Amino acid sequence: MLNQIDLSRTDLNLLVLFEAVMRERHVGRAAGALNLTASAVSHGLRRLRLLLGDPLFLKTPRGVVPTQRAEELAPGIAEALARVRSVVASREPFDPARSTRRFRIGAPDAVSSVLLPPLLAELARQAPGVDIGLRQLLPKAGETTMALGWRDSLLALEAREMDVAILPFHEVPARFISLDLFSEDFVVAARVGHPYLRRPDLEHYCRQQHLVVSQGGDPRGFVDDLLERQGLARRVALTAPNFMSALAVLADTDLISALPRRFVDMHGARYGVASVAAPFAFPTYAVSLIVPRVAMMDAGVSWLASMLSTLVPKGAEGDGERL
């Protein structure tokens, strides 16, 4: 057990090394992130294996994979390092007005594109030196539940590949904090003048050629499940890797697509894309801010989460659960 070890004889930098290998799943990439040689990381891993009595990481052709013991240790090590970093950072409290920090936010582009205008306006007011990096997130194709679909995003968040995530999903494990930001639903979008917009009934809908947003190219979406329950089907003629590219395609074709309402309201007009209500009930879902609990010990991340929770995207006033 780690708490039985004489810490005066233990190099705590080994925990930083563990964190890097856990995040990168590759000894060479972890070495680069730590400004060390691959041999130094391998030597550190040997010491850590002896210390913890487990292989921790197993070699594969593409890098390394953690053992079950490493998976069990990872949350505790992450929490311990977060506390240490918080203590070190407390020497100079986070001041958004003076900070030049870069925060990383993960979200589907349909979410980030509606939050970006109010976010940039708020940064200009509160934190003009703070920079933002956006990481596009989409659910893993083929999964049968939201929890499995967004699992990779949660793992990336926990590995500190991003500071916060904003997802259409809120049922997260207890080690995360989830705050509902606003509710969202889907509309049917098509180019202005498309025949479907004049007769948006179910029969006409099923006869159209459809576009589905799918990062991996999987043509089946939630709409297909809804249609199947009614004994109906549609033709998915094209998949697009993100929502912005979907708008560009809709503008120049006769394809139609189910897209988030606020996203189309904000960006559809510039592409010549309009929308109508769906001919059957599309699900409404909560868009949530998700942060690892240990990350909230970082005053900067805590400030970012608090600031994001106050943003209201276009059309959201009075909608959904507010904080």
Query: What is the average per-residue pLDDT within 85-103?
Result: 78
Exposure pattern of 147-175 as b/e (b: 16+ CB <10 Å)? eebbeebbebbbbbebbbbbbbbbebeee
**pLDDT of 32 higher than 50:** yes
8 Å CB contact between 55 and 49: yes
What's residue 88's pLDDT?
63
CATH number of this structure's domain 102-181+292-308, picked from the four choices 1.10.565.10, 2.60.120.200, 3.50.7.10, 3.40.190.10? 3.40.190.10
Which position has the higher pLDDT, 170 or 300?
300
261: which 2 tokens?
């309402």
Query: What is the rounded distance in angstroms from the CA atom of residue 34 to the CA atom of residue 152?
Result: 23
What is the pLDDT confidence band of residue 151, given thresholds at 50, 70 and 90? confident
Nearest to 185 by CA among 112, 248, 110: 110
What's residue 144's pLDDT?
58
**pLDDT of 103 higher than 60:** yes
* Beta strands per DSSP E along the chain: 57-60, 63-66, 102-107, 131-136, 164-167, 176-184, 186-191, 209-213, 235-240, 257-260, 273-276, 285-292
Tokens 């309201």, residue? Answer: 265
8 Å CB contact between 94 and 72: no
What's residue 8's pLDDT?
56
Residue boundaries of the structural domains of the chain:
2-89, 102-181+292-308, 186-276
Q: What is the dihedral of CA 164, 168, 170, 175, to 10 degrees?
A: -30
Residue 279 backbone class (left: φ over 0; alpha: ψ -120 to 50; beta: rest):
alpha
What's residue 276's pLDDT?
96
pLDDT digits (tens, 9 = 90+) for 182-202: 888 999 999 999 999 999 999
What is the pLDDT confidence band of residue 2, given thresholds at 50, 70 and 90? very low
Nearest to 110 by CA among 266, 4, 228, 217: 266
- Return the bridge partners of 65, or none: 58
Average confidence score pLDDT of the chain:
87
8 Å CB contact between 249 and 195: no
Tokens 């505790």, residue? Answer: 76
**pLDDT of 244 higher than 80:** yes
Query: What is the rounded distance in angstroms from the CA atom of residue 301 to the CA atom of residue 304?
Result: 5
Q: What is the dihedral of CA 265, 289, 156, 264, to 10 degrees?
A: 0
Tokens 């089907």, residue? Answer: 233
Query: What is the average per-residue pLDDT within 160-169?
Result: 91
133: which 2 tokens?
């990096």
Q: Between the CA of residue 242 and those of 65, 76, 97, what are the distances in Å?
A: 29, 35, 34
What is the pLDDT confidence band of residue 317, given thresholds at 50, 70 and 90? very low
Architecture of domain 2-89: Orthogonal Bundle (1.10)
CATH number of this structure's domain 186-276, picked from the four choices 3.30.360.10, 3.20.20.220, 3.40.190.10, 1.10.10.10? 3.40.190.10
pLDDT digits (tens, 9 = 90+) for 106-140: 999 999 999 999 999 999 999 999 999 999 998 87
pLDDT digits (tens, 9 = 90+) for 281-290: 888 888 999 9
What's residue 9's pLDDT?
58
**pLDDT of 318 higher than 90:** no
Tell me whether domains 2-89 and 102-181+292-308 share a fold.
no
Query: What is the rounded distance in angstroms from the CA atom of residue 240 to the CA atom of residue 274?
Result: 18
